[in-house]
Chain A
Amino acid sequence: MNRFNQINDSFESYQSLIQLYEKYKDESFGDIHLEFHKFFAANMSAALGAVLDKFTANLNSIHFDSIDPQIEAILLKNNFLTYFGKQKAVDTNKTTIKYQRLDSTDGRYFKSYVIKELIEGHNSDLPQMSKGVKEKIVEAICEIFVNAQIHSETEFIYTCGQFFPNKNKIEFTIVDIGIGFREKINKRFETNLRAIKAIKWAVEEKRTTKEGISGGLGLAVLREFVTANKGKMQIVSNDGFYQFNNTGEIQKEFRGEFPGTIVNLQFRTDDDNNYLLKDEININDIF
């Protein structure tokens, strides 16, 4: 039995998902029993879904033996449990952003999903976000999806989000089951960085593993927006944990490894910055 009592965006929550993965990663044709109690942040469905897919790929059976009713309700509304045979529920409060497993080539679908889930589907019933903030959030999320698409060599990308109207925030999580920052960077530069150093290198501006083409702006743009918005970004890749918010950076290492990369983003919906301010760049002075 694997009992989870509190899954949110804490280091310990990621550690418990990593422990689950490490426990069963080599098992085939087994039965894996799960229990969820007290709290499960709905956006973490993306990370859990990625781990459980690793198990089902080895023909293990997943059993949700006991889930607290309020957790079950939200995981039915965001469609997560429907991937495991349960009947989906209607989200009348419209606070969920649906759980999705996408092919890594599904960029167009992803973009439409983000716009629908974050903007069009929530025009009237959620804290009013300014047009500029909405656009910046969609842009930041798309940058991360494209990063996973280009760099991770993943087959699938898992995404899920959640509005927390009382706290004026949105959390959105994007997970891949690809090679991770460490292997990508070490292969490209023939080096031997630990995962946490690889992440730290990649979040700085103009750092890219692409060959023959410049890049490395996506994470830098995201970090600037997170700073302005007073949000938070977290990256879990292999055994590395990196967190950035307006109080600074945290870097830690897990026991065991996540089989890919999790990017968890938190944005404030009550951000009153004017992101639509006119800039001073002359259109004839770009090149």
Chain B
Amino acid sequence: MIYSKKMGDITISIINTIADGYGVEAEDGQKVFELILKAFEDKKKVTLSFRNIEMLTTAFLNTAVGQLYKDFSEEYIKENLKVSDISDSGKVALKRVVETAKLYYKDPDALKRSIDEIAKD
């Protein structure tokens, strides 16, 4: 069972969604993202459970969570998404992914500018 319902909110278990204790591949992150998206579209608040997840890559977290900032505001995500049972190293990685995503969607031309700068060197 992927979802558990409590007081109208949704808990999404990562291990159950990807059937693995290691969040490594971007493809698996996409499965998590689609479930969060589905819940958000139905105006549900989501708790993302990292229970029994032993390792996370930034590629997985970018896809699972980072791309939410494309369609939803920081305020909406802050209000409607929570995480539970995440390891300390997972927290560090997720925070970094989130900060990167916020900057990326705020300034989509930054990457092209950085290319122009290195081309000039």
Instruction: Give the interface of A toward B (CB within 8 A).
Output: 107-108, 111, 135, 138-139, 142-143, 145-147, 149-150, 185, 189, 191-193, 197, 200-201, 204-208, 210, 212-218, 221, 275-279, 281, 283-284, 286-287
- Whether B105 pairs with A191 at a CB distance below 8 angstroms is no
What is the CA–CA distance of A208 and B67 in the complex, to the nearest angstrom?
14
Task: State whether A217 and B96 are in contact (beta carbons under 8 Å apart), knowing that A143-B57, A197-B119 are contacts in the complex.
Answer: yes
Residues of A within 8 A of B95 (CB): 281, 286
Task: State whether A283 and B86 are in contact (beta carbons under 8 Å apart), knowing that A139-B55, A146-B24, A146-B59 are contacts in the complex.
Answer: yes
Task: State whether A213 and B70 are in contact (beta carbons under 8 Å apart), knowing that A189-B111, A193-B115, A206-B100 are contacts in the complex.
Answer: yes
Task: State whether A107 and B119 are in contact (beta carbons under 8 Å apart), knowing that A279-B92, A281-B95 are contacts in the complex.
Answer: no
Shortest Cβ distance from residue A222 to the other chain B in the assembled complex, whole angstroms: 10
Task: State whether A276 and B22 are in contact (beta carbons under 8 Å apart), knowing that A201-B114, A201-B118 are contacts in the complex.
Answer: no
Q: In this assembly, does B41 line the interface, its C-beta being within 8 Å of a C-beta of chain A?
A: no
What is the CA–CA distance of A213 and B26 in the complex, to the nearest angstrom?
11
- Whether A213 pairs with B115 at a CB distance below 8 angstroms is no
Residues of B within 8 A of A207 (CB): 111, 114
- Whether A218 pairs with B92 at a CB distance below 8 angstroms is no
- Whether A287 pairs with B78 at a CB distance below 8 angstroms is yes
- Whether A287 pairs with B55 at a CB distance below 8 angstroms is no
Q: In this assembly, does B53 line the interface, its C-beta being within 8 Å of a C-beta of chain A?
A: no
- Whether B119 pairs with A111 at a CB distance below 8 angstroms is no
Task: State whether A150 and B26 are in contact (beta carbons under 8 Å apart), knowing that A108-B20, A214-B62, A287-B98 are contacts in the complex.
Answer: yes
What is the CA–CA distance of A212 and B26 in the complex, to the nearest angstrom?
14
Query: 10 extra interchain contacts, Cβ-Cβ under 8 A, other than A150-B26, A201-B118, A217-B97?
Result: A142-B24, A142-B55, A146-B26, A146-B57, A149-B25, A208-B111, A221-B58, A279-B89, A283-B91, A286-B83
Q: In this assembly, does B112 line the interface, its C-beta being within 8 Å of a C-beta of chain A?
A: yes
Residues of B within 8 A of A149 (CB): 25-26
Residue of A nearest to B70 (CB): A212
What is the CA–CA distance of A139 and B67 in the complex, to the nearest angstrom?
21
Shortest Cβ distance from residue B29 to the other chain A in the assembled complex, whole angstroms: 10
- How many contacts A-B (CB < 8 Å)? 124
What is the CA–CA distance of A135 and B84 in the complex, to the nearest angstrom?
21
- Whether B91 pairs with A286 at a CB distance below 8 angstroms is yes
Residue of B nearest to A213 (CB): B67
Shortest Cβ distance from residue A265 to the other chain B in the assembled complex, whole angstroms: 15
Pick from A111, A135, A138, A215: contact of B100, CB under 8 Å: A215
What is the CA–CA distance of A196 and B78 in the complex, to the nearest angstrom?
40
Shortest Cβ distance from residue B99 to the other chain A in the assembled complex, whole angstroms: 9
Q: In this assembly, does B81 line the interface, its C-beta being within 8 Å of a C-beta of chain A?
A: yes
What is the CA–CA distance of A111 and B111 in the complex, to the nearest angstrom?
31
What is the CA–CA distance of A35 and B70 in the complex, to the nearest angstrom?
54
What is the CA–CA distance of A236 and B83 in the complex, to the nearest angstrom?
39
- What string of 1s and 0s marks CB contacts (under 8 Å) between B56-92 and chain A? 1111101100110110001001100111101011011
- Whether A107 pairs with B25 at a CB distance below 8 angstroms is yes
Residues of A within 8 A of B118 (CB): 193, 197, 200-201
Residues of B within 8 A of A276 (CB): 88-89
Pairs across A and B, CB under 8 Å, 16 listed:
A139-B57, A142-B24, A143-B57, A146-B24, A191-B119, A193-B115, A197-B119, A208-B111, A214-B100, A214-B104, A215-B58, A215-B59, A215-B66, A218-B58, A281-B95, A283-B83
Residue of A nearest to B18 (CB): A108
- Whether B55 pairs with A138 at a CB distance below 8 angstroms is yes
Q: In this assembly, does B101 line the interface, its C-beta being within 8 Å of a C-beta of chain A?
A: yes
Which interface residue of A206, A212, A287 has the most chain B CB atoms within 10 A? A287
Pick from A191, A193, A214: contact of B101, CB under 8 Å: A214
What is the CA–CA distance of A287 and B26 in the complex, to the nearest angstrom?
20
